Each structure stands twice: as structure tokens, then as C-alpha cells.
Chain A
Amino acid sequence: MAPLLTGKRFRPERYHYYPLLDSSNQQAALLAQQGADEGTVVVAEQQSQGRGRLGRPWSSPAGINLYCSLLLRPAIAARHAAQLTLVAGLALWHTAQEWGVQGCELKWPNDLLLQGRKAAGILTEMRAEGEKTQYVIVGIGVNLNGGRTDLPPELQAQAIHLAEALPAPIERSRFLAALLQQWETWYDRYQTSGFAPLATLWQQAARLPGRRVQIRLAEGSFAGEAVTLDADGCLLVKRGDGMLTRVVAGDVTLLGEG
């Protein structure tokens, strides 16, 4: 996969392609620890240990999908870095739009859904010493050209490939170049204006307010209506009793139209 890279961060000399990796995030972390620059991109054709949140496996067969990790070194305090995961979702959603995939939506914090099924997931990992952000790695897995039979049986009802909504397959290197271009745009906007102006756009892409959701936290579950994002990007959910709960970390399941 050889994308045409023209951005100011994601440059050809910072692009690393591997036929097989344990996980692209792991390789990107290794490069980061060796001093790699912001804008370093790691792409794996195939991952043997692709993973999502809480070590969950991410199905990563060769030839049909995109598994990439972006290395960022933002000059932001660690407490704001989680906003980058929402910026990541916006960049991904806009890339799908640009490609003409109709009906995509974001699910907090940054899953890309198509027809209610997961087409892409993002796992962000960072290192911080105290307040100081050392680096941020945004790992993005996008299901592009497969069909239902390319998915493990347990995912067939939950996952989907973006090209299933298109008449032709997606050229992977062009999709990656478009995604990185969107990244440049949204990351620049975030760094210039902060998260607040992006929150409105994010909410539109997630069709908030009014989505019925089930929230699973480390300490328990509850259902409610996803109302909005707060200034930090946390999800505010209104429970049945009218109480607003701020979700910082957890699993969100959409419960259908509210």
C-alpha cells in the first residue's frame, strides 16, 4: 500500500508499511520511543494481535482492510488528550462521507457505524509523565472491502465493510491518503480553535441528541438518552429518572431510535 502523501505532517518519509505486525499501535509506540516525529504513520497489511478497548481482539485479515496508527506529539496537557479521540472520529466520518458512503454515523467516543454495524474502530494510546503528553498514538482499523464471510462468525451481525454500501471496492491506498488529509484538516482546526467548535459537528455526525443508549461502565450498566457532549467531550446521558450522568469511559450500545 503506497498512498500519495502530500500533507505537512504525514509525509512520505514518515510512512512505514509492514506486511505483518502484532499490532500497528505497538509498532508505532516502539517508533515513538525511539524518537519518531509527529506524523509518523504505521500501516500493517495484516495484524496477528490487532486489538481494541480492554485488549479485545480486532479481526485483521490481509488484503481487504486498513490498519494504521498515527503518531502525534501534540503540545496539550494530558487531561485534554482524550478529545483527540473525538477528532479522530470526525476525520474518519468525513473520509467516509468524502467517499460517498451514505448512512454512516459516529458512536461515542469514536466508532464508525454503517447501517447500525461497526465499520471502523479507533484505539488511542498515549504516554504521559505527569501533565506532559509525551506522545499519542491513534490506531484506526477500517473494514473496507470484505463481505460478511470475511468476518469471524461472532462479528457477522455486528460488523460491516464500508464498500458494502458502494457499487465498487475502495482503493485502500487512496482511502488512507484521504483519511490522512482529513486528519490534517481536523487536527489543525482542533489545535487552532479547541474542541468546542468541533463538538457541534461531532454531535451531528452522531445524530445527537435523542439516541437511546445502553452504557456499560466498569462499575455497572444503565440505559438512557444520549443528550450531548460536555466541554471535555464526555457523553452526557439522561437516565429515566431525569438525572444526567457524565460518561468518561465505557461501552455505548445504541438501542434504536428514540
Chain B
Amino acid sequence: MDLKEIRQLIKMLAGTDVAEIEIREEAQTVRISRHLAGQHDTSTAAFQPVMTYAAPPAMAMPTAMPVAVEAVAAAAASKSSEPLSTERTLTITSPMVGTYYQANAPEAPPLVAHGDIIKKGQVVCIIEAMKLMNAIESEYAGRVVSILKENASPVEYGEPLFILEPV
């Protein structure tokens, strides 16, 4: 199971009342657990993917994966320290299929960095499809706690790109 499939799984679970799922594939186990409203706390969006390996995986995993998973877990962890908070993390998703770019041009600095506080309407990345460069505006204000895509990687419609926490 690769990072993309894990993300799709997380997205899929978001629309259900499933609290935990564990998938075993050969030497790899992926468990995603989350706290649902009314069960453990008031949060509806704290995902905690956990990956374990019974043996070294046969194929090298994408380099972004441990970082992204760690970042998601960190976001979840930071939430659990605010047990009374009714706030939730915010996800910026891709409005189209295409290629994700972190900057306006190949040599330009990334539009946002981890920890940045961004405004609603601020451009956070570019998605290209058919030589159309779509500057994606954030629908929310918040602090960037996770950047889920690597530069110049393909994205699907609706795929999460950034996770923000409200500030």
C-alpha cells in the first residue's frame, strides 16, 4: 500500500462512522484510527495512521511518506493536548486532476512552508492540467501543519494537499 492509497483510505473513512481500520498486505500493516464525535472527544478529524512492518518492505517506499505520516500524526497529537477544543483541522484539497507544483516557477521558492500562517484566499500551490496553471487559493485561514504532496507529483481530484490548524 502506497502513500496515495493510504490518503485515499483516510479520505474514504472521513465520510463514514468507522473508527479504526487495519489492513495487512504481506509484510506491511497499516492501521488508521480516529476519534469520532461523541466517542472519545469532540474532534472529528484527528487521524492517526500507524504503519508497522513485520519485515523490511520489498520495495522502497516513497521518500515523502514517513514525513507526511509523521506530520499527520503530529497534527493529531497536537489536537489531543487540547481536549476541550471544538476546533478541527482544515484540509485543502485539489479541485482538479493534474500535477502539483509548490511554486510559481521551477526555480521560485515554495508558496507555503510548514508552519506558515496563511490567509483565506492566499495562493498555496499550482496544479497543472493541459498547460493550464491553476493557482489554488486557500479556502481557510490557518497554520500549515502538513504539506502532503511532493513537488511535481500527480494529484487526483479531491486529494488532500495541505492540512491547516485554525489560528
Contact = CB atoms under 8 A, between A and B. Distances in A.
B132 A126 contact: yes
Chain A binding surface, main DSSP class: mixed
Nearest to A127: B135
B40 interface: no
Interface residues of B, number: 29
Contacts of A127: 123, 134-135, 137
Interface in B114-142: 121, 123, 128-139
Given A134-B137, A219-B153, A248-B154, A124 B131 contact: yes
Interface string B89-102: 00001011111000
A129 B137 contact: yes
B105 interface: yes
Nearest to A86: B130
B26 interface: no
Contacts, number: 96
A125 B132 contact: yes
Interface stretch (A8-16, A60-68, A76-84, A151-159): A76-84
A201 B132 CA distance: 20
Given A82-B130, A85-B131, A248 B98 contact: yes
A249 B130 contact: yes
Interface string A6-30: 0000000000000000000000000
Interface in A54-112: 54-55, 77-79, 81-86, 108-110
B134 A78 contact: yes
Interface residues of A, number: 36
Nearest to B152: A218
B15 to A, nearest CB: 17
A123 interface: yes
Contacts of B138: 129
A219 B96 contact: no
Contacts of A83: 130
B130 A248 contact: yes
A86 B106 CA distance: 24
A131 interface: yes
Contact of A82 (B98, B104, B139): B98
Contacts of A78: 95-96, 134
B131 A123 contact: yes
A217 B152 CA distance: 9
Nearest to B131: A109
Given A55-B107, A129-B121, A218 B135 contact: no
Top-8 shortest CB links A-B = A55-B105, A218-B152, A78-B95, A82-B129, A109-B130, A79-B96, A124-B132, A82-B130
